[in-house]
Amino acid sequence: MIAAMARLWRIIAPIRTRLYLGLLVTIGASVVGLMIPQVLEVLVNNLNSSPTAATVWIAGGVVVALGLVEAVLLWLRRVFAIGPSTNTEREMRVRFYNWILDMPVAFHNDWGSGQLLSRAQQDVTQIRRWIAFGMIMMVSSAATVLVGIYMMSRSSILLAGIFLVVVPPIIWLTYRFQREFSILTRRSQDLNGEISTTVEQSVQGIRVLKAFGRSKQALEKFQITAGALRDNEVRKATTTARFDMFMMALPETVLGISLLVGLFQVNSGGMNVGQLASFFATATLVVGPTRMLGMLFGQAVNATTALERYFEVMDSENTIVSPDHPVAIDFANATGELVMEDVRFRFPDAAQDQPDMFQGVDLHIRPGETMALVGVTGNGKSTLLQLVPRIFDITGGRIIIDGVSVHDMDLDDLRRLTAFAFEDTTLFSSSVRDNVLLGVDPELPDAVQKEIAWEALHAADADFVVDLIHGIETRIGEEGFSLSGGQRQRIALARAIAARPSLLLLDDPLSALDTKTEERVIDQLKMVLDNTTTFIIAHRSSTVSLADRVALLDHGKITAVGTHQELLRSSPRYRYIMATNTAGSHEVNL
């Protein structure tokens, strides 16, 4: 707790002065507020002894003035503390985002987007609340309680003492409540998340559920989660009810006792009626901040958890970074020649007894050559391709482009040399044009960019873009137009081509296309690939026909390299794979 708060203290260094000012005016506001009961005391005593119209007017006027000062101070608190704290919030968020974008893909696979999102959103907001509200209110509430009790003790030490008795239990109860409540709230959030998932799947998978007649089972599963949520909510209500009960009964009981004691004291001359009145007025004002203190202790714990969750991500080590002294790349003369030497790799989460996924891959792709990579499904083809732009890092051996090891290059340079069309086509919510030009220098003149985009779209046989409602400017992705799988794939392919890399990495880029379209794309692609070094994963022989040579990946090694015809002749394993792949590619389409 201390460590996390200390780090937060450093983060807020630039706004500390403003926070101090905020604290000052908040305490000021409480003290001014506590003056009002004093006015009541004076007036009541005055009315009991020597009443004049002037005192009544003065009392009224003073209260209005005090109220105005209090209001202005309350307003100033927000001006001082909250504006700057929202800046801190934004900065923490942006720093977090930039940090995770630099982290390797393996890190993202481990964390999952949901976890990262909740840290960037909920946790950072919670931290901001703590900075702007919690820290200040903690100090100022404590001050209010102390000053209030002091004021009460001026009325009567005995009454102040009686009131003091309930302060610790109120703080303690509120703290306990806050903790319990926030745990139950988290549980509700989790259950709500589960319900959303179940509902989403039940709606998106409706065809499957209907086809199998499984709606009843889905309902049963849903009912269990919804029931758990209901029970948790009732538990939450019980906690709240118990807390509210104590918060009402406890202070009011003590005030009831105080009333009796106070009346006797007035009778015995220990205090006057005005003081008794001001005691009650002050007590009403102090109960609030006392509860607030308890709540803030709870919030401090929550804020610490939020901080720890935030720092947990920010402290994780980045394993894929640019070298300190990268080799300068001559882009103009880059050929994209790729050499793999004894490449070894295993996923960090692979089981102990499993052998390495790659046990010494050797491969040479000549400048301008198109090399196809073939192998049974799931044997690591996609993984091998991703090792080149360091999406994952090899665990042994070397990968060399144009004579330079990828580990000696700046990451940005490496990824400028290469362009990747992934197996699962990710397009972003933006126009087709933006998606295609993702890897293109945005400084280029508009006309040139447009030409590049169209050329690439044409090469990928994605001319259908013209027919979309806004042509190339049509928004696609989540909230835009929905494209079919084959259309998406062709746009992703166009994106890789538009980047004009020296080395093009294509992961089965034609898998979602029917045979006729595939033929057209292949014809177009052949012209583009003619002078670009290309590494392409192929399942079907039609895709293989794009390649000059084929490499066969089997059991973690490249076991054969040659032209399609050569391999068909010399490698029984290759014959087997091509035969099964082609047979298996007739998908049942319903």
Ligand X SMILES: Nc1ncnc2c1ncn2[C@@H]1O[C@H](COP(=O)(O)OP(=O)(O)OP(=O)(O)O)[C@@H](O)[C@H]1O
Binders of Mg ion among residues 381 to 400 (CB under 5 A) are 382
Q: Which two tokens stand for residue 138?
A: 């903690």
- Residue 237, classified by CB atoms within 10 Å of its CB into exposed (0-12), middle (13-18) or buried (19+), is exposed
Q: Is there a contact between 498 and 452 (Cβ–Cβ < 8 Å)?
A: yes
- Angle CA 274–277–280, to nearest 5: 150
Nearer to another protein, 199 or 568 (CB): 199
From the list Mg ion, another protein, ligand X, none, pick the one residue 3 interacts with, judged by a Cβ distance below 5 to 8 Å according to partner type. Answer: none
**Coil, helix or strand at residue 270:** coil
**Cα–Cα dist 370/537, whole Å:** 11
Residue of minimal CB distance from Mg ion?
382
Q: Which two tokens stand for residue 65?
A: 């003035």
Least Cα distance to 413 among 392, 397, 389, 391 occurs for: 389
- Residue 316, classified by CB atoms within 10 Å of its CB into exposed (0-12), middle (13-18) or buried (19+), is middle
From the list Mg ion, ligand X, another protein, none, pick the one residue 328 interacts with, judged by a Cβ distance below 5 to 8 Å according to partner type. Answer: none
Nearer to ligand X, 6 or 351 (CB): 351
**Coil, helix or strand at residue 265:** helix
Mask for 346-385, x = binds Mg ion (CB under 5 A): ------------------------------------x---
From the list Mg ion, another protein, ligand X, none, pick the one residue 318 interacts with, judged by a Cβ distance below 5 to 8 Å according to partner type. Answer: none
CA 407, 410, 414, 415 torsion-angle sign: positive
From the list ligand X, another protein, Mg ion, none, pick the one residue 223 interacts with, judged by a Cβ distance below 5 to 8 Å according to partner type. Answer: another protein
Number of residues binding to ligand X, judged by CB under 6 A? 13
From the list ligand X, Mg ion, another protein, none, pick the one residue 379 interacts with, judged by a Cβ distance below 5 to 8 Å according to partner type. Answer: ligand X
Non-local (6+) Cβ contacts of 393 within 8 A are 104, 319, 320, 387
The residues in 88-127 that bind ligand X, with binding defined as CB under 6 A, are 109
The residues in 405-424 that bind ligand X, with binding defined as CB under 6 A, are 423
Q: Which two tokens stand for residue 76?
A: 């100033």
From the list Mg ion, ligand X, another protein, none, pick the one residue 380 interacts with, judged by a Cβ distance below 5 to 8 Å according to partner type. Answer: ligand X
Nearer to ligand X, 10 or 516 (CB): 516
Closest approach of Cβ 165 to another protein, in Å?
A: 15
Closest approach of Cβ 590 to Mg ion, in Å?
A: 6
Non-local (6+) Cβ contacts of 501 within 8 A are 336, 416, 417, 418, 419, 439, 532
* 565 is an interface residue for ligand X by CB under 6 A: no
Closest approach of Cβ 492 to ligand X, in Å?
A: 15
Q: Is there a contact between 278 and 35 (Cβ–Cβ < 8 Å)?
A: no
Q: Is there a contact between 148 and 32 (Cβ–Cβ < 8 Å)?
A: no
Q: What are phi and psi of 237, to 5 degrees?
A: -65, -40
Nearer to ligand X, 379 or 563 (CB): 379
Closest approach of Cβ 422 to Mg ion, in Å?
A: 9
Nearer to another protein, 20 or 428 (CB): 428
From the list another protein, ligand X, Mg ion, none, pick the one residue 143 interacts with, judged by a Cβ distance below 5 to 8 Å according to partner type. Answer: none
**Cα–Cα dist 282/147, whole Å:** 10
Secondary structure (DSSP) of 204-250: HTHHHHHHHT-HHHHHHHHHHHHHHHHHHHHHHHHHHHHHHHHHHHH
Closest approach of Cβ 206 to another protein, in Å?
A: 5
Closest approach of Cβ 562 to another protein, in Å?
A: 27
The residues in 330-349 that bind ligand X, with binding defined as CB under 6 A, are 347, 349
Mask for 357-396, x = binds ligand X (CB under 6 A): ------------------x-xxxxxxx-------------
Closest approach of Cβ 468 to ligand X, in Å?
A: 18
Nearer to another protein, 247 or 303 (CB): 247
Closest approach of Cβ 284 to another protein, in Å?
A: 6
Mask for 180-209, x = binds ligand X (CB under 6 A): ------------------------------
From the list ligand X, another protein, Mg ion, none, pick the one residue 253 interacts with, judged by a Cβ distance below 5 to 8 Å according to partner type. Answer: another protein
Q: Which two tokens stand for residue 219?
A: 């309902």
Report CA 130 to chain centroid distance, whole Å: 19
Closest approach of Cβ 543 to ligand X, in Å?
A: 12
Beta bridge partners of 404: 401
Q: Is there a contact between 534 and 355 (Cβ–Cβ < 8 Å)?
A: no
From the list ligand X, Mg ion, another protein, none, pick the one residue 47 interacts with, judged by a Cβ distance below 5 to 8 Å according to partner type. Answer: another protein
Least Cα distance to 581 among 546, 537, 527, 524 occurs for: 537
Segment (H or E) for 124: helix 124-129
* 589 is an interface residue for ligand X by CB under 6 A: yes
The residues in 413-442 that bind Mg ion, with binding defined as CB under 5 A, are 423
Closest approach of Cβ 391 to ligand X, in Å?
A: 10
Which residues bind to Mg ion, rule: CB under 5 A?
A: 382, 423, 589
Which residues bind to ligand X, rule: CB under 6 A?
A: 109, 347, 349, 375, 377-383, 423, 589
